[in-house]
Amino acid sequence: MRIRTLFLTVFVIAALVVTACAPAPQPAAPAGQATEAATEAAATEEAAAGGFTCDDPLGCVEVKAGDPIKVGYALVVSGANESLGVDSVRGIELAVADVGGELLGHPVQIVGEDDGCSPEGGQASATKLASDKSIVAVIGTSCSSAARVGVPILSEAGMSIISPSNTAPDLTDPASHSPGYFRTAHNDKVQGRVVAEFAYNEKGLRRAATIHDGSVYAQGLVNAFAENFKALGGEVVSEQAVNVNDTDMRPVLTTIAAEGPDLVYFPVFTAEGGFIASQAKEVPGLEEVTLIGSDGMFSQDFVSAAGEAALGMYLSSPDFSAFGDQYGGFLQKHLAEYGEPPLSAFHAHAYDAFNMIAAGIQQVAVEDGGTLYIPRTALREAIGTTANFQGLTGNINCDEYGDCADPKIAIYEVTDIAAWDPNVTSPMKIYPQ
């Protein structure tokens, strides 16, 4: 009991000592002064952390000081159709070089994935790119079949997507367009019409057969061609399909030959196009038929695959002679950098796609506290309202569903199977004159 009493006595004495040593309480500041002090403290804290608050519905990409601005691509860079994608990659690389390799004081980093020119490749490449939240926008895909699967994934991730070579009409159809998707490539409603006009008006052909490979691209093109060819007075006597990776086209070609066409239009891709062209010359009744393909086969790879059978056939493509004044300088840079002419049809479209993204970033980015903020919705809106943008491919204006091209299509004749040079200095273009 004595011990307990002694402990309480000591505790009370200690408490008295602490109270005596404590500083005297200060009078409270007036309410106005307290509010002002709190505001100053908050402002100091905000300035130290950066005052920008991202209220963009899709969020903002944050690029810290010294970090790169990352732009992705989903393009076919391997396999039979790699010339299509590599051609676009080179366009992107030259565009990056022309802005000095940086935007707004940040280096530009290109992050690439192979779209495989297939639905499976489109899904895989888009999924990988969408998982990287530091990527601002994506250039791609090469092929419409990859876009149909991949673009919704990228769109859902909040990214802006510009394709240099998707041409299927449904990708910019109001009923199926994905938000944030744009293209600098033409719509195949235009290309199909030009091919039909060339065949009917220029070549005097009246009986056409078509072959597609089941892809979104090929089906869209043969449909556009057939609609316009019949409207002109022509007849589509046979509509056939092959599969991707088919090598024996003779059964389909034999079926077509039985209908007596004077034209076979097959807007497929490199490998299948090579087999169709070479084997058509072996099928009785098709030896003298006119063969026409489109931009999916517009490359040395296709000509090499078809061999001598490619000589004299026709390919539709963007009209390089209608491109902007700067295209000649681009070709010189391309030759200096890669030692050869462009490989396919969409190098300039990829160049323009990067520059549209760059212009959009410069328009909407906010620098604050040493960090660059790029609002995703604002970037989409900036790209979507592009007007009178002077690109390599012409005067670019985007409509509300993502068609941005200045579409001018030409027909080229294959006159040499060893020297591929379809640019403005080449005699390959034959229509329009």
**Is residue 49 domain-resident?**
no
**Is residue 10 domain-resident?**
no
Q: What is the pLDDT along the chain (433 residues), one digit of tens a residue?
A: 333 333 333 333 333 333 333 344 444 444 333 334 443 444 334 434 468 999 999 999 999 999 999 999 999 999 999 999 999 999 999 999 999 999 999 999 999 999 999 999 999 999 999 999 999 999 999 999 999 999 999 999 999 999 999 999 999 999 999 999 999 999 999 999 999 999 999 999 999 999 999 999 999 999 999 999 999 999 999 999 999 999 999 999 999 999 999 999 999 999 999 999 999 999 999 999 999 999 999 999 999 999 999 999 999 999 999 998 999 999 999 999 999 999 999 999 999 999 999 999 999 999 999 999 999 999 999 999 999 999 999 999 999 999 999 999 999 999 988 888 776 555 689 999 8
Are both 109 and 227 inside the same structural domain?
Answer: no
Are both 159 and 222 inside the same structural domain?
Answer: no
- Smallest CA-to-CA distance from 254 within 245, 268, 264 is with 264
**Is residue 181 domain-resident?**
yes
At 426 the pLDDT is: 58
**Is residue 199 domain-resident?**
yes
**Is residue 30 domain-resident?**
no
Are both 143 and 227 inside the same structural domain?
Answer: no
Are both 274 and 335 inside the same structural domain?
Answer: no
Give yes or no for a contact between 260 and 285, defined as CB atoms under 8 angstroms apart: yes
Question: What are the φ/ψ torsions at residue 91 (nearest 5 degrees)?
Answer: -60, -40
Long-range contacts (CB closer than 8 Å, 24 or more residues apart) made by 175-179: 177/401, 177/402, 178/151, 178/152, 179/155, 179/380
- Smallest CA-to-CA distance from 70 within 136, 133, 126, 114 is with 136
Are both 300 and 214 inside the same structural domain?
Answer: yes
Are both 373 and 238 inside the same structural domain?
Answer: no
Are both 123 and 262 inside the same structural domain?
Answer: no
CATH code for the domain of 419:
3.40.50.2300
Are both 155 and 205 inside the same structural domain?
Answer: no
At 283 the pLDDT is: 97
Give yes or no for a contact between 319 and 393, defined as CB atoms under 8 angstroms apart: no
Are both 306 and 224 inside the same structural domain?
Answer: yes
Domain count of the chain? 2
Are both 106 and 207 inside the same structural domain?
Answer: no
**Is residue 278 domain-resident?**
yes
Are both 196 and 288 inside the same structural domain?
Answer: yes
**Is residue 251 domain-resident?**
yes
- Residue-number span of the structural domain to which 403 is assigned: 60-187+323-407
**Is residue 37 domain-resident?**
no
Are both 120 and 180 inside the same structural domain?
Answer: yes
Q: Are strands 160-163 and 181-183 parallel, antiparallel or unpaired?
A: parallel
At 50 the pLDDT is: 60
At 433 the pLDDT is: 85
Q: Are strands 371-375 and 366-368 parallel, antiparallel or unpaired?
A: antiparallel
SS3 115: coil
Residue 36 is encoded by which pair of tokens? 């002002």
Report the distance separating Cα 315 and Cα 311, nearest Å: 11
User: Which of left, alpha, beta for 104 (phi over 0: left; psi -120 to 50: alpha)?
Assistant: left
